Structure 1
């Protein structure tokens, strides 16, 4: 690993500065993660303390296992060094910190620096090697598709109660007020066959993984209200269309994952059956699905976040067996390459691990992606510390913290938040899980990224206003410039770069349902499309951007910079959100536009070959 000497975390505080690094199997790293039963140690260096005592504290949610043990300290020329082994016998999340006592005064060492009070701890994630999440992708991007809105294709008659809208002219149906109930039975006619017909376009964008919105038979256009897990919705083309799409993807070197919605079903499903059409659970106590739901004697039932047409499933043994022994094997054997797991926070650990095991028993390289909105390494949800990244569960997560940090930096130019978030996530996630996480600027659950970067705020606007509010030409130009800076920055960060269908074409829109309009075929912003394609293809050919170490570079206000380093190369990224050009230490070849750059213009991001910020790099006269 290159730059081992630089894999050090440096901290400052009111009472001095220090450095700390974790060494696993003899390799120094910024990452606070270690493999189970592998040798690991923490190395601490500080100065300014002569006659003193250093104590070490280590523990987990279960309690403290090392409570103030006195450290053996080596002091030389005013510099103190401590080397301590870390316990890696048990997988899970652990916490530690140091305390220094000198002349009766106590100071604390933590991620906040050296302070006179307890200010937090470092964490150590101990993982197993059950499912090594190798860099199984070629560095290409993820393309996230909302099926009903991407492309028409094939001849699949709509349901009798489906309301068909005009692809070119109509606006997605919306409620009077945000959050009001909708049946969502309006459709634009996108199909799996339509996606298959556009695979050459998708492939040209540098994509090597397609993530589909749900495809199981369901009443709504979004399909998060599963009606029958064992069939693909006929309006999308059914099982045959999915199989054709899978085969077409694989011929082009593209993998494909489905959205696994295993936390709730639709009220019109064969399982719950609110209309008493299928012998389902609500009206039939003897139904085999009755124990899947929490149904009261008066006919009331537990539903997901109060949404009445989404009955929540109890993860009982029969439901788990049905999903893991019947549903997952069907689609894995059909040829899909994994799952994006919806609202994975609501899955008990044992259920999630069983889903992963069921998938990987059929395809060892199955990709399991979880919907997690926060730091996935230490999250607590529903009273359970989640072990998403410990080796038995997820290969990666939807990296919303990176998205939020990039959007914040591009729109405010404040580099403190993005520096904190990116360094924290990069330190907390095992490298393989971080590099296989999904970095996106937009999804079906967020406003369109161009609207975020250039549109007027949605606060206080009615749905009727949001449905018809579009940017002025001036606003769009601002949004487009910001998008190119944001997307290049996102692509340079560790993780799988993802694009939500149509973002590369210039689509606008506020939150659901306005972020789910039909793709504007024939009206794309081709300049934006070409830019996304160029960035994706550059990353695909750059090992440092696929799996290189992440090393933040201190800069002045308004500039965010870092390097990515692997055994064969180093790449530097500089994002300049000031109003002036940012002068580079030396001219460098730009992967962003294929030209030699001497500076980074205001409002732009450059991905540059070489380690421009190394002390040994060429400097300007």
Structure 2
């Protein structure tokens, strides 16, 4: 008999052939189940909005919501969910019910079902032990009650409470996909006949430059020649490489840099929203690319998708709308811009004269932009969504809300509400995500569920990942954080937005606007001197000696965290760059790096993408930090749902480290085991499996700047659960067992009674395909159902001598 099972020997003494009696030493009075300790164990409290703690994941206004709080077993006397309704301004306390203990008897779980709501709500938990109270929300535990959410300084302050946004859902194909961002001019030249040639045209006195593929695109003139230097990449080139993207690599969502006619290589200075740039192949090339993508399945059987970049805050100065407005104040486009001294002085984006700012005080402009958005979602294009450039900057009459720290500008939010309604009416499954550079999360655009689906997650992923792994922020400034800071940063930003948005946040290591991750992570950085137009010289970073192991670590975090892993083209092989200059962030793709199997970074990306698809808990599971060791520079966390429990251990030290991970916190049974699913590249070596000891810990040894990823079967939070809960007298109920006997038993019997073991009954349980055991019973007329479980070996589980006890309602 296994001494580590919650075993009771001789608990039951059989009387005759078919009856048995409960010995009093094994029985615990159900009235005494909830026995509070002298203080609330704050460290044991946990909740998030994963499927085990928040259901349904994307509630409608007609669906009640069940939330769950974990606490130390026997610690609490009561618990409440404190809910603030933003429409009524009211705060309501909902009592929670004790649902049971985990498989190890370490934790207990409390839950409450909140009534359906049509309004955005914020909630936190109140945990009581009879003499003291602790409060818990997304930022952790505190002895002081959280203030009521307030509106101040043009922003909501929700104090990191969890968010409920009814009727807010984001496309499942986006949540489950892997995105690939392409800067079109630098990806692949599929049609050399449409390449921009030397001197083809001039832009502000700068003639166009035709680069050879692989040539340094930095020409010593960031504001001039650099912007009209073209490598020849086009949409035909993207189409030619669909097999590479979707099969060789394994991504399925293409996110394209702007493709509409413009003078610069980046095309954020749109000339004509209804014309794809001829140098990219024109409208027909975009139609063909999207059609080809839709007809191609990735390695996981997911359909290819294409996202377009919507530059709707400003146009280029050569846009016909603007040139018309400059030519006449009677122009129908005059009010689409804001002139302070017509025709030469006007509102711009970020002070750039080439980027006149659109005036969203004009209803006709708003209608035109909605027409643009809808046009590309309809046939013949059928694009799958929009990435929004600078969406927080949209305002009326030259006003720039985001630049002024105003995140609640009425014109801005009213337009994005209209944008969502229009886009979703054309394609309800379209994906909308906004660029957001600020040191906060775009809660004002996400938390009501009526504007964007997600955002480019600079503050919630790119920035903390960069500072921890590389020691630089996204502006290439030295700034290093500890695992403890990383943990609090990730947890706080993740839970500050609704669950639908959490799953749709776009997580990148690099973008077109920040220095390359591999450059920030490099062992050494080289420099290159350029001649400026004035004849002087400037020196910029230019490549260097890569640190492939830090490249590995960045990819490990990206593909195991919550949100959509998004690869900026070239990151999959560790593309370096030229520092902060825009051209240095946009080198041409080096196809030799992915030929003949590719380098080790590329091989890791391939395997991580496959792993992400194979283990759904990496997409939908809870995010539970387990270790943040500032001495060893190790950060470990769990991702778990009802089917899988995955442990991720990241080592950001230079050498191999051995760390003890308390996996019992994630529900791992004592004396169970994990399978190692870590992709091994670069000569890394790890044990193929790891055993959980009798205290619920594992010991892992992880190479420097590498990871260990472990998986075991998941299950419900409690060892025993009932459906319905609570039980109803006289009705049938399903009892599900997932305790320590579940995995090894060849047969299992549920012994049960009611009101202190009256009417004792013996019911044989049935093993399900997921490893759980179930039995259907008729609930007796009592106040409490008592239960214990025995396997064919005579091993008992009676919940550490307390028995399993469930309240019965009449």
Q: Which residue of 2 aligns with 1:4?
A: none
Matched, 1:388 2:446: yes
The separation in 2 between residues aligned to 1:183 and 1:460, in whole angstroms, is 15
- 1:65 partnered with 2:152: no
Query: Partners in 2 of 1:45 and 1:233 — Cα distance?
Result: 55
Match for 2:656 among 549, 564, 580?
A: 580
Q: Partners in 1 of 2:503 and 2:51 — Cα distance? A: 22
Q: Which residue of 2 aligns with 1:241?
A: 285
What secondary structure, in the 3-state scheme, does the structure 1 residue paired with 2:428 have?
A: coil
What CA distance in whole angstroms lies between the structure 2 residues aligned with 1:25 and 1:149?
Answer: 39
Deviation of 1:329 after TM superposition, in Å, equals: 2.1
Kept in 1: contact 2:555–2:605 (CA 8 A): yes
Equivalent in the alignment of 1:286:
330
Residues of 2 paired with 1:458 and 1:419: CA distance? 32
User: Which consecutive unaligned segments of at least 5 residues does structure 1 have?
Assistant: 1-13, 274-279, 380-385
Distance (whole Å) between structure 2 residues aligned to residue 23 and residue 418 of structure 1: 17
Which stretch of the first structure deviates more once superposed, 532-541 or 606-615?
A: 606-615
Partners in 2 of 1:428 and 1:30 — Cα distance? 17
Give the SS at the match of 1:602.
coil
Match of 1:142 among 155, 179, 185: 179
Name whichever of 494-503 and 222-231 sits farther off: 494-503
Alpha-carbon distance, 1:482 to partner: 0.7
The aligned residue for residue 309 of structure 1 is 354
Cα distance change, pair 378–60 in 1 and its aligned pair in 2 (3 A) = farther
1:262 aligns to 2:312 (yes or no): yes
What CA RMSD, in Å, does the superposition of the two structures yield over aligned residues? 4.3
Would you say the 8 A contact 1:588–1:609 is kept in 2? Answer: yes
Instruction: Give TM-score scaled by structure 1 length.
Output: 0.80
Map residues 537-556 of structure 1 onto 2, 5 A cutoff. Answer: 537-556=610-629
SS, match of residue 268 in structure 2 = coil
1:401-429 deviation line (CA, Å, top 9, x unaligned): 21222222223572112211222233333
Aligned to 1:127: 165
The SS at the match of 1:443 is: coil
**2:177–2:252 contact (8 Å) kept in structure 1:** yes
Native 8 Å contact 2:120 2:166 kept in 1: no
Aligned residue number for residue 466 of structure 2: 407
Contact conserved, 2:254 with 2:306, CA < 8 A, in 1? yes
Q: Decide which moves more: 201-210 or 33-42.
A: 33-42
Kindly indicate whether residue 602 of structure 2 is the aligned counterpart of residue 602 of structure 1: no
Deviation at 1:435, TM superposition (A): 2.2
What does residue 237 of structure 2 align with? 194
* Cα offsets for 1:285-333 (capped at 9, x unmatched): 1211111111123431000111111011111211111111345224532
What is the match of residue 221 of structure 1? 265
Question: What is the distance in 1 between the residues matched to 2:437 and 2:509?
Answer: 13
User: Alpha carbons of 1:325 and 1:409: their partners in 2 closer, same or farther (altered >3 Å)?
Assistant: same
Q: Once the two structures are superposed, what CA deviation does each residue of 1:194-248 show, in whole Å capped at 9, x if it has no partner?
A: 1111111112211110000000111111000111001000111110111111122
- How far apart are 1:41 and its partner, in Å? 6.8
Match of 1:328 among 365, 374, 378: 374
User: Structure 2: how far apart are the matches of 1:26 and 1:550?
Assistant: 11
Given that residues 580 and 602 in structure 1 are in contact (C-alpha distance below 8 angstroms), is that contact kept between their aligned partners in structure 2?
A: yes
Per the TM alignment, residue 600 of structure 1 is displaced from its structure 2 partner at its CA by 2.0
Say if 1:25 and 1:39, in contact at 8 Å, map to a contact too: no
Q: Using the alignment, how far apart are the partners of 2:680 and 2:350 within structure 1?
A: 46
1:143–1:499: 8 Å Cα contact kept in structure 2? yes
After superposition, where does 1:49-64 map in structure 2 within 5 Å?
59=84
Q: Is 1:369 matched up with 2:415?
A: no
1:522 is matched with 592
Contact 2:190 2:236 in 1 (8 A): yes
d(CA) in 1 for partners of 2:177, 2:129? 51
In the TM superposition, 1:549-564 aligns within 5 A as 549-557=622-630, 558-564=633-639
Aligned mates of 2:574, 2:108 — CA distance in 1: 56
Q: Is the 1:572–1:608 contact (alpha carbons within 8 Å) kept by the matching residues of 2? A: yes
In 2 relative to 1, CA 609–336 (structure 1 residues): closer, same or farther, beyond 3 Å? same
Deviation at 1:62, TM superposition (A): 8.1
Matched, 1:271 2:330: no
The 5 A counterparts of 1:139-218 are: 139-154=176-191, 155-156=193-194, 158=196, 159-161=200-202, 163-168=208-213, 170-174=215-219, 184-203=227-246, 204-218=248-262
> 3-state DSSP class of the match of 1:227?
strand
Residue 382 of structure 1 corresponds to: none
Change (3 A) 1:193 1:542: same
Give the secondary structure class of the aligned counterpart of 1:470: strand
Q: SS at the partner of 2:558? A: helix
Paired residues in the alignment total 578
Q: TM-score, structure 2 length as denominator?
A: 0.62
Q: Deviations over 1:437-468 (max 9, x none)?
A: 22111110111110111155899999966546
2:778 — aligned with what? none
**Does residue 1:589 correspond to 2:634, yes or no?**
no
Q: Which residue of 1 aligns with 2:294?
A: 250
